[in-house]
Amino acid sequence: MRIRIHVLLVGVTLWLVGLPIVLGSCAPPTLEPRPTPTPFDLTSLPEDATALPWETIEATSWGGYRKDTPALLVISTADEIAYAVPVVSQETKAELENLDFSKAFALIAFQGLKSSTGYKIEIRAVVRQADEIAVYAYFVSPRPGEPVGPSETSPYHAIEVLKESNWADEFTFILYDDDLPVAETKHFIP
């Protein structure tokens, strides 16, 4: 009888010790947290593509663009500045009025209307490939738990793009959030 109890106790002990090991091997794997998104950086261009030189006119969160979707505005003549007046600051308007449109044109990338502070858009690269102009931008959003203000914002980044070669044609402009297309427009560049 003693041997049976001893064997039974050893069996129960092994079962109790082995159960967590067996269950542990069947448990679902723990998932690592997703990495914090980082801006898309263009590391190489296709053979027939050219990175266009550009300079920032203004980057701010306080534009007047009232739609919640991203957009891209192209300004290639002095007459077109009027399209930008309702959606940009007086500083941007003044810079556009001083632009030499025979040597450059302007691009204004809008992130869209946001319900709080903590958002911004940053153009990272402008690339010409045949009749397509890719505008690569990084759309910044507040991180979870980051304090934000209750003010409505409308981030934009306005830039001056230098015309270094033949233009005088219609081009398709595509705005990318990192590497995803989010807005598109066609425009003639004289």
**Position 73 in a domain:** yes
Token code pair at residue 153:
């914002």
**Model confidence, pTM:** 0.78
CA distances from 94 to 7, 111, 120 (A): 92, 22, 22
> How far is residue 184's CA from residue 176's CA, in Å, rounded to a whole number?
9
Residue 110 lies in a domain: yes
Q: Which amino acid, residue 43?
A: T
3-class secondary structure, 123: strand
The whole-angstrom separation of Cα 160 and Cα 38 is 25
Query: pLDDT value at position 18?
Result: 54
CB contact at 8 A, 139 and 124: no
Domain that residue 169 falls in:
53-189
- Closest Cα partner for 109 from 83, 78, 139, 86? 139
11 occurs within a structural domain: no
pLDDT recorded at residue 73: 98
| Per-position pLDDT tens, the chain of length 190 | 555 554 444 455 544 555 444 444 444 444 444 344 555 566 778 789 999 999 999 999 999 999 999 999 999 999 999 999 999 999 999 999 999 999 999 999 999 999 999 999 999 999 999 999 999 999 999 989 889 999 999 999 999 999 988 899 999 999 999 889 999 999 999 9
Report yes or no on 151 lying in a domain.
Answer: yes
Q: 171 in a domain, yes or no?
A: yes
Would you say residue 127 lies in a domain?
yes
**Positive or negative, the Cα torsion across 47, 49, 55, 59?**
negative
pLDDT on residue 44? 77
Residue 119 maps to a domain:
yes
The CA distance from 37 to 31, in Å, is 17
Q: Is 16 among the domain residues?
A: no
Name residues whose C-beta falls within 8 Å of residue 70's C-beta, 6 or more positions apart in sequence: 109, 110, 111, 112, 121, 139, 175, 177, 182, 183
How many structural domains comprise the chain?
1
User: Beta strand 169-177 with 132-140: parallel, antiparallel or unpaired?
Assistant: parallel
